[in-house]
Amino acid sequence: MRVLVTGHLGYIGTVLTPMLLQRGHDVLGYDSDLYARCTFGPPDRIAAVPELCKDVRDVELTDLADMDAVLHLAGLSNDPLGDFNPSLTYDINYRASVRLAELAKRAGVQRFVFSSSCSNYGAAGDDLLDEQAAFNPVTPYGESKVLVERELAQMADTTFSPTFLRNATAFGVSPRLRFDLVLNNLMAWAFTSRMVLLKSDGTPWRPIVHIEDIARAFVAVLEAPRSVVHNQAFNVGSSSQNYRIRDLANLVQQRVAGSTIQFADGASPDRRNYRVSCEKFARTFPGFTPRWGAGRGADELYTAFTQVGITVADFEGPKYKRIAHVQELLAHGILDESLRVRTPAAPSQHPMASPGRW
């Protein structure tokens, strides 16, 4: 298939793209490369594919010509970044996503796989939630995902087939590694300081899933018969991988010798609290089994941190922390207030791609 992957240079996209290539798909990347300075490890780990270096808000009908499918990952990627400017979150994550789908449908793209989130469930308590559970998002990020799902579902017809993958909280190593994800963050604190730092009281539930398993789920949906996935939502992960945050902290402590669990100043209950069932995906794709659990993922992270090296300043600062990176780009005038690059440039001259500090 000819596949347009938005956000192909992000945390998940840099893992998904080589997987698609290995499966024989033709990939066109679409990404503003906001995090060009945030590569973890050797830069040649990022697969080179034909790409459009554009903001998702600027997509044109011609960008979608001859595409069989769109895998839509691009957007402001987490709650802190979504809270930074909620109106921009709705512009980028919601309105631009709906417009992309509308243009894809006009262009004759038949399949549209949307990277949604279990954040849709928000403040949900201790019940195990399947895809029929009520939405209760508590952040602009979660609300934006709900809005996109609702509008795209109404666009579904005989010519346009959307699918919604509600990913659990991701973890794992990527060329565009994120440290604002719970397991990644706990491991980074333990590795650098021998302190497993909890920023909440540890009681909330989170389902977690490795990015490789998320990428494999995208490939499975892309390659599935249309009738199997048409206008369907799937929780992506494993029902066995629901954890309270404190249990993840204990798991990390057991793997990092000499580490202790500590609570950050002001640690308090987190309104985001949900457990999910992933049995629908398991039933629909009986040959699909998640390959990663929290323990193996923690070991992978520890090994990667040892090989590449990180400090607290790295993962709590602007290199790997999404909100801090965007704030630094704004402070240096590289982005304007709408989070657009101020001076358009050819891909080889991208203003965020040059080495060194601003």
The CA-atom distances, in angstroms, between 126 and each of 112, 123, 225, 276 are 32, 10, 34, 9
Q: Is residue 288 part of a domain?
A: yes
CB 17 within 8 A of CB 8: yes
Output the pLDDT for position 200.
Answer: 85
Integer-rounded Cα Rg, in Å, for the chain is: 19
Low-confidence residues in the chain, pLDDT < 50 = 345-358
CB 260 within 8 A of CB 196: yes
Q: Is residue 355 part of a domain?
A: no
- The C-alpha atoms of residue 75 and residue 115 are separated, in whole angstroms, by 10
Q: What are phi and psi of 161, to 5 degrees?
A: -125, 100
Q: Is the pTM of this model over 0.75?
A: yes
Burial tier of 159 (Cβ tally within 10 Å: 0-12, 13-18, 19+): exposed
Q: Is residue 38 part of a domain?
A: yes
The CA-atom distances, in angstroms, between 345 and each of 32, 51, 174, 332 are 11, 14, 26, 17
CB 30 within 8 A of CB 339: no
CB 68 within 8 A of CB 5: no
Q: Is residue 280 part of a domain?
A: yes
| End-to-end CA separation in angstroms for the chain | 40
Output the pLDDT for position 268.
Answer: 75
Which tokens belong to 311?
């400090």
Angle at CA of residue 112, ends 107 and 115, nearest 5°: 140
pLDDT digits (tens, 9 = 90+) for 83-135: 778 899 999 999 999 999 999 999 999 999 999 999 999 988 889 999 999 99
- The C-alpha atoms of residue 320 and residue 27 are separated, in whole angstroms, by 26
Q: Is residue 163 part of a domain?
A: yes
Q: Is residue 356 part of a domain?
A: no
Which CATH number fits the domain that encloses residue 329?
3.40.50.720
**Domain tally for the chain?**
1
If we measure between CA atoms, which residue out of 120, 115, 124, 118 comes closest to residue 147? 120
Output the pLDDT for position 119.
Answer: 93
pLDDT digits (tens, 9 = 90+) for 324-336: 899 999 999 999 9
Q: Is residue 192 part of a domain?
A: yes
CB 298 within 8 A of CB 249: no
Helix pair angle (294-308, 182-193), 10° resolution = 50
Structural domain that includes position 85: 2-349
DSSP state, 134?
P
Q: Is residue 354 part of a domain?
A: no
